Structure 1
């Protein structure tokens, strides 16, 4: 297991099973694992909790513009929807939660590493979202790190 602690008191633990555990102010947050099938038509995968039990189902639209991902709980209730905006100079995604809250993820023009800004939550995403290798920052402090590979 690897871990790090930032100045804001958020500890990020990466257990050996590849999940992610966040401790914010000493309180543990939920750990999740994403398991995807390598060959599949469309995007469909399950998100498991730290006990290995399925927690959410993600389904992406197939050959549809704009691309839409629907995230549902295991009872089939939609908890959020992510829609890629089709006509933009740089990629943008609108995220709508079940309670109606929404925010936008916009790619920022950079020359070295990919960077996204989360409008509505005042967060920054650094790294490669498509390769599942990125971190989330708020006020300049890393609050989460998501990676397919342990670091």
Structure 2
């Protein structure tokens, strides 16, 4: 079990990733690009171990996850999914994953071939922007953590666009 928790009183969106005992495993630096096009995941010594960045030119929200400098996956929103959002986690080779569930409330599962390999929940957590992430054995934790962060970036971006549109309509 992992906990991804936003740091309070930080400038930008910084997160800590903790294990079930509260030990800090990673720090997520969201200040790399002020427009939130990239976040960097660092180990406790400050070394970059992974990153998530948004593709600027894409038909739909697309985020690339790099682990150890190598492309590990692209997270893409599916275009036509009535009633709920779905994201594909496209990994090199045939074993793509899919995120589905109530993504806006951050209650969803990540599946591989129809089998659940991770579950993400904010339901039992009272702190804003804190996620509990349960990951099955044999699944790369940084891939799942990167996917959760990509989804968070995509949903935050959609929310900002919606707010800007509403603001324009008021004027």
Q: Say if 2:7 and 2:16, in contact at 8 Å, map to a contact too.
A: no
Correspondence 1:146 to 2:120:
yes
- Distance of 1:127 and 1:46 partners within structure 2: 24
The CA deviation string for residues 41-88 of structure 1, in whole angstroms up to 9 with x for no partner, is: 3110111111111110001134236x1010011011111100011222
- Distance of 2:62 and 2:22 partners within structure 1: 32
- Distance of 2:96 and 2:52 partners within structure 1: 18
Correspondence 1:64 to 2:35:
yes
Aligned to 2:4: 34
1:134 Cα deviation after fit: 2.2
Instruction: Look up the SS of the partner of 1:88 in the other structure.
Output: coil
Aligned residues: 120
Higher relative contact order (CA 8 A, sep 6+): 2
Structure 1 spans left out of the alignment, 5+ residues: 1-30
Structure 2 spans left out of the alignment, 5+ residues: 126-171
Instruction: Look up the SS of the partner of 1:42 in the other structure.
Output: coil
Q: What pairs up with 1:44-83 in 2 under 5 angstroms?
A: 44-60=14-30, 61-64=32-35, 67-83=37-53
More helix per residue:
2
Q: CA RMSD in A?
A: 2.3
1:147 Cα deviation after fit: 0.8
TM-score (norm 2): 0.62
